[in-house]
Structure 1
Amino acid sequence: MPSIDKRCCAFLVALAMLGTGALAQPSATPVPASPFAAATPAVQQFTLANGLTVIVRPDRRAPTVVQMLWVRVGSMDEVDGTTGVAHALEHMMFKGTPDIKPGEFSRRVAAMGGVDNAFTSRDATAYHMQIPARRLETAMQLEADRFARNQWDDDEFRREIEVIKEERRQRTEESPRALMFEALSAMVFQASPYRRPVVGWMSDLEAMTPDDARAFYRRWYVPANAALVIAGDVDVAQVRALAEKHFGAIPSAAVPPRKPREEPVQAGPRRLEYRAVADQALVALAYKVPPWRGAEVDSETDRDALALTVLSAVLDGYDGARLDRALVQGVGTGGKRLADSAGSSYGLMGRGPQLFMLTAVPASGVTPEMASAALKAEVARIARDGVQEAELQRVKTQWMAGEIYKLDSVANQARELGGYWVNGMALDTGDRLMARLRAVTAAQVQSVAQRYFSDEQLTTGVLMPDPSRREAAPAVPAGPRPALTRH
């Protein structure tokens, strides 16, 4: 998701002020590169006969290539009882094929001077490697082989699921804040599968079988549900020939139908108090807001989504932004510090519903209720008084400069293109996004602050320090704990 880079240099800010890019042609033809990044050439996209999408962005600045295989399946595509299976399968994709033994995939990538990893999100699973340009065919052959012929024995799965359970312990169950946010998601969303954690509930991990992962693989890992993204020192014709050679022979299969799971309209405020052994309290205010769909023809909800992006940046887009000044520095309260930290975030885009989140860690002597009221007051101030034009231009310029800086990396180019594909967006989405964000007005920012922050759509999560919970903490397994893998 786009974010404001607080450390953008003056050079990038100056570049961002030059102007916006022209809209691209349909994906069958090259998409003009954004003038924000002169070294980034055109993008091309094509589809193999079996349904696999291939997206290529040549970038000749260094003899390196990033290859990403995106599968449009994540935790939102799971069903109750097998939560975490998308992430578990991601781990198992490194465990072999008929020709490659467990662990050998990454060793081969390293041997040719590359690095590889993967990640699972609510919306997608992606496998990425960065390799010398001359080794692209070897990398593509490896990726196509595991996509089409992934296999492993039951014992390998049983060993790896213990690693995944340890990952959940270390990253979630041993972090009171992570547990609070996990519980908050389960309260915010009722019908949406976003209510479930990506790593899965521990009880589901304990009950998961090898065949659960195999069935998920057979169902969703089909060419028509995947995109191969190549960015770096490549020729489009070369990539096309290699993709046809190594991915083109994979049999086609239909993508399973996805049933709509629309989130019902929230009809009043919800509140969660999560009591745990913690050093400090934490307050999170989650508001349901519309996502940006990136349609070529702008809509009212898309305009609101972009204004919400700017609003989040006004609140927390740079050092000394509104939340920091009001809650941390105490500007306007006679220097009284209300929070040790405060922040704002907005998802902008995704396959499911999105949230606008305000967070604060109350300072010593400040109650969660006081911190919550202070967060709301900053949004209310914008709803009442609006934002200054200079403030608006500052955050938009910094946002665009951050996007330029990000795209200096071929890895980020591949990740951005894959993310747009996952969300069903066109290749020129990045250019259109920057152009439309530049057009957001102060009146639009004030309008969304007025319309989207009522208690009707609010779910409040409060982490409450409770030393008495120490005895109720989950038991840590005896003996050596499994080492976490990179992915």
Structure 2
Amino acid sequence: MDQIYREKYWKPDGDPAKIVELQKKADELTAAEKAFIVKDDLWELYMKNGGTGLNASTSQESTGYYVTLPSNKVELQMLLEADRMRNAYFREFYSEKDVVMEERRLSENSPGYLFREQVGAAFYAASPYHWDVIGWMDDLKKMTKADMIEFHNRYYIPNNAVAIYVGDVKPDHIFALAEEYFGPIPRGPDVEPIRTSEPPQYAEKRMYGEGAAPTSLQMMFHTPPAGHPDAAPLTVLAGILGAGGGRGGFGGPRGGGGGTGRLEKILVREKQLAVSAAAFHRPQWYVGAFQFSGSPRLDKGVKPEDLEREIWAEIENIKTDGVTGDEIQKIKNRSEANFVRSLSFSAGLASAVGRAELHRGWRSILADNEAVQNVTNDDIKRVAVKYFVKDNSLTAVYTRTTGR
């Protein structure tokens, strides 16, 4: 398969006849390989032992693997996952790669996807946030099995992993089992954090696109990463402007959505300029982003640029006058309530604690929620002045027409 990819994608004048010949041989080998593959063996073994919810997810910063099991099956889980970490073979690499490429094609056929991807790439100019998790199609085409093995051996090592067990377990027993099953796996080289962070923007960016998706406006501003003192005031402000949504609790307070926020009240209900209007704040590991979004009332002749002017007017009001004490307290109460409610979901708790421990440590969950409780109106005015400036922004205007 590597020879096919080199001939097909690496060479500017690859030999079509050679590609057909190589593909024929690869298909024969793939068919023969299936006799040695036990399909879904891991999942079936988990299910036979009471397992549910076996899944995995990948974000821009981490990958997680999840399963819910009876507490007396923890040792089985450790045996299986330690073996998967140390002895992975990736026999179905090429077929799974085709699945991922098809997922990418399906996304590309979704109205507005390619524009949103370009907006993200323009907003994050230098850091790895520049591309989506699934990656560019060109990378997927040219990626080889050797590439993935090298990636696995670099990142899937004990000193770059966190295991979280939530439920009816005894910590001493868990530690002993972890030492027995994961202890023999050699420690790998320490994983280097990203080298290239996001530099200051210095100039306003604007993008325009047309296609089949609904007409919309996005206004994005660079903000600091999670844990920065300004992250909490920005989160509270997002909640005030777009109250009704956003993620709190163990996932960390973010603020956002629509519902009862200022933007919804002013632009949708009072002035009737928008179908929807929202604000979100997303502090990430290495960078942050604050986003305003809205869909104009086309039936009233409203354009995205009209919403943009209204949002800037509200931003200037906040820079001068801030927000009310009641608005701040409302978001604080919501954050606290979300935090308490999140205690009841063991799977979500395990996932959130694991992600936090990989980055700033699990105590950062408590620190972030406490920081929200300490936000003042002066904090909100200060961050609005600091971050909501045109040289720190990207404005994306999308107009519904036809095609992609």
TM-score for the superposition, normalised by structure 1: 0.69
On the 8 A contact 1:220/1:255 being kept in 2, the answer is no
Q: How does 1:302-451 map to 2 (within 5 A)?
A: 302-318=228-244, 319-329=259-269, 331=270, 333=271, 337-350=272-285, 352-364=286-298, 365-423=301-359, 425-451=360-386
Partner Cα distance (2:337, 2:175) in 1: 32
Post-superposition offset of 1:259 = 5.4
The letter for the 2-side match of 1:242 is L
For residues 120-135 of structure 1, what are the structure 2 equivalents within 5 Å? 120-135=58-73
Contact 2:354 2:362 in 1 (8 A): no
Instruction: State the partner residue of 1:65.
Output: none
Deviations, residues 248-274 of structure 1 (Å, cap 9, x unaligned)? 111122124345202221111111112
**Within 5 A, what are the aligned runs for 1:190-339?**
190-258=125-193, 260-278=195-213, 280-293=214-227, 302-318=228-244, 319-329=259-269, 331=270, 333=271, 337-339=272-274
Q: Which runs of 5+ in 2 are unaligned?
A: 1-9, 11-35, 245-258
4+ residue runs over 4 A deviation:
none
Structure 1 residue 392: Cα displacement: 0.8
Q: Does the 8 A contact of 2:154 with 2:189 survive in 1?
A: no
What residue in structure 2 maps to residue 159 of structure 1? 95
The amino acid that maps onto 2:292 is: L
CA contact (8 A) 1:383 1:447 kept: yes
Q: Secondary structure at the match of 1:450?
A: helix
In 2, Cα distance between the equivalents of 1:315 and 1:259? 32
Q: CA deviation at 1:100?
A: 8.3
For residues 55 and 37 of structure 2, the distance between their equivalents in structure 1, rounded to whole angstroms, comes to 17
Residues 200-235 of structure 1, C-alpha deviations (whole Å, 9 max, x = no match): 111221222222111111122111111111111100
Which structure is larger by alpha-carbon Rg, 1 or 2?
2
Specify the SS of the correspondent of 2:277: strand
Deviation of 1:102 after TM superposition, in Å, equals: 4.1
* Long gaps (5+) in structure 1: 1-80, 82-98, 294-301, 474-487
CA distance in 1, matches of 2:336, 2:113: 30
Contact 1:314–1:321 (Cα < 8 Å) also in 2: yes
In the alignment, residue 283 of structure 1 is paired with which amino acid?
L
CA shift, 1:111, in A, is 2.0
Q: Which amino acid aligns with 1:317?
A: A
CA distance in 2 between counterparts of 1:291 and 1:201 reads 25
Output the CA distance in 1 between the equivalents of 2:69 and 2:376: 43
Confirm or deny: 8 A CA contact 1:328 1:339 kept in the other structure: yes
2:43 to 80, 88, 106: 106
CA contact (8 A) 2:211 2:399 kept: yes
Q: Is the 8 A contact 2:223 2:283 kept in 1?
A: no
Q: Which amino acid aligns with 1:421?
A: E
Give the structure 1 partner of residue 117 of structure 2: 182
SS in 2 for 1:119: strand
Q: How far apart in 1 are the matches of 2:59 and 2:70? A: 27
Q: How far is 1:123 from its partner?
A: 0.6
- 2:171 counterpart letter in structure 1: V
Aligned twin of 1:54? none
Structure 1 position 464, deviation (Å) = 2.1
Structure with greater helix percent: 2
Q: Tell me, what secondary structure is at the counterpart of 2:132?
A: coil
Deviation at 1:349, TM superposition (A): 3.2
Greater relative CO, 1 or 2 (CA 8 Å, sep 6+):
1
Structure 1 residues 120 and 381, CA, compared in 2 at 3 Å: closer, same or farther?
Answer: same
Q: Answer whether contact 1:382 1:446 (CA < 8 A) is retained.
A: yes
Matched, 1:143 2:78: no
Q: Distance in 1 between matches of 2:376 and 2:199?
A: 31
- CA deviation digits over 1:44-97, x for unaligned, max 9? xxxxxxxxxxxxxxxxxxxxxxxxxxxxxxxxxxxxx9xxxxxxxxxxxxxxxx
Shift in Å at residue 198 of structure 1?
0.5
Provide the secondary structure at the position in 2 that maps to 1:228: coil
Cα distance in 1, alignment partners of residues 48 and 266 from structure 2: 53
Number of equivalences: 353
Give me the identity figure in percent.
31
Partner of 2:21: none
Task: Report the Cα offset of residue 119 of structure 1.
Answer: 0.7
Inter-partner Cα distance in structure 2 for 1:211 and 1:378: 53
The 8 Å contact of residues 57 and 63 in structure 2, kept in 1 or not, is answered as: yes
Query: 1:422, CA displacement in angstroms?
Result: 2.2
- The verdict on how the C-alpha distance between 1:316 and 1:230 changes in structure 2, with shifts beyond 3 A counting, is same
Question: Aligned Cα RMSD in Å?
Answer: 1.8
Preserved CA contact (<8 Å) 2:273 2:302: yes
User: Whole-Å Cα distance in 2 between the matches of residues 201 and 207 of structure 1?
Assistant: 10
What is the DSSP-based 3-state SS (H/G/I as helix, E as strand, rest coil) of the residue aligned with 1:169?
helix
